[in-house]
Amino acid sequence: MAELDNDLLLRALLREPVPRTPLWIMRQAGRYLPEYREVRAKAGDFMSLCRNPELACEVTMQPLRRYKLDAAILFSDILTVPDAMGLGLYFVTGEGPKFRNPVQTADAVKALRVPDVEAELGYVFDAVQTIRRELDGKVPLIGFAGSPFTCGTYMVEGGSSREFATIRRMAAEAPELLDRLMNVVADTTIEYLNAQIEAGAQAVQIFDTWGAALEPDDFRRFSLASMQKIVDRLTREKDGRRIPVILFTKGAGPLLADLAQTGCDALGVDWTTDLATAREYVGDKVALQGNLDPATLRESPGAIRQGVAETLASYGKGPGHVFNLGHGITPDIDPDNLGVLVDAVHELSPQYHD
């Protein structure tokens, strides 16, 4: 396997020294880019784009052509896993993801099985291989999956939700049933992420967008425990290099301290916790990734530079910081504004490293 030209991301995730802070952006391939919208229109719909390795590779590469980013992230979605479990994922424009067969009874939970991951999700592993070939060692490729709880919210509610009423009722009234759901999704996710790593993913991130909607004890029992199971069973080394694991629980706050104990390498932090405070929660255990408020990208170039400066200063000196937004970039952002952010990280971050 060829060496990487730029391995700053992998080094920073392992808290090794780097000359500047590496960065990538959650949802860096997406609708804010006109070239993405063009390929997406050509593909017809979002899932057809995900299922076509050449087109998925093309949109993965698009942000790297525009910006000096230190990683690519596989273009796919977290809901491919429940789709592979037979739920029938589809997208309705303006309404987000939906499932034809949501999991809404005890019998439906009990009927769920770990699918044949190679057969059902082979298109993802093909995309990983295609992207690695196209990247040709320039920057590392990040693979990803959703957390079992975050996937579970969509599986049980049948789509996006504000209150998570059904799954929270399950946590309160039928906790063993929710344990069972978490376990089967975790077991599938272990096979899925290990196959991404086998195909060439050089780091992996678990997106736990909704885990912090639970009260802390329930967060620990359902979301944290199922992510712990995944962390314990992932392939952690390949071709002589460690495969860093990043856990991103949006809104984790003080629960970052619990997440840091899982044995992951890094934690994503959203913008509601300062990086300085996050460092106090986690000590020297893990690297931190984040956390500029995505809304800052709607402001002026000066305000964006200021936001970058404050984020870097909040983490402060020393290794173990990967710059990112605190959540994904939104479709309304002017692509030039992301350029301002990227340039500011390159310009302002060396002073925080020896």
CB of 252 to ligand CP3, least distance (A): 13
Q: Give the separation between CA 230 and CA 78, rounded to whole angstroms.
A: 15
Determine the size of the site formed for ligand CP3 (CB under 6 A): 21
According to DSSP, the residues that pair with 289 across neighbouring strands are 268, 322
Q: Give the separation between CA 152 and CA 302, rounded to whole angstroms.
A: 41
Structure tokens at 75: 């273009």
Would you list the DSSP string of 301-321?
A: HHHHHHHHHHHHHHH-SSS-E
Indicate the pairing of strand 241-242 with strand 245-249.
unpaired
Query: Which x/- pattern over 205-234 shows residues binding ligand CP3 (rule: CB under 6 A)?
Result: --x-x-------------------------
Residue 78 in the binding site for ligand CP3 (CB under 6 A): yes
Among candidate residues 40, 132, 168, 305, the one labeled active-site is 40
CB of 311 to ligand CP3, least distance (A): 19
Among candidate residues 7, 32, 67, 77, the one labeled active-site is 77
Residue 160 in the binding site for ligand CP3 (CB under 6 A): yes
Residue 32 in the binding site for ligand CP3 (CB under 6 A): no
> How far, rounded to the nearest angstrom, does the alpha carbon of residue 247 sit from its chain's CA centroid?
8
Residue 273 in the binding site for ligand CP3 (CB under 6 A): no
Q: Give the separation between CA 193 and CA 25, rounded to whole angstroms.
A: 20
Q: Which is nearer to ligand CP3, 301 or 328 (CB)?
A: 328
Residue 27 in the binding site for ligand CP3 (CB under 6 A): yes
CB of 354 to ligand CP3, least distance (A): 31
According to DSSP, the residues that pair with 323 across neighbouring strands are 23, 290
According to DSSP, the residues that pair with 58 across neighbouring strands are none
For the question of residue 31 being annotated catalytic, the response is yes
Contact residues: ligand CP3, CB under 6 A: 26-31, 40, 46, 73, 75, 77-79, 96-97, 144, 146, 160, 207, 209, 328
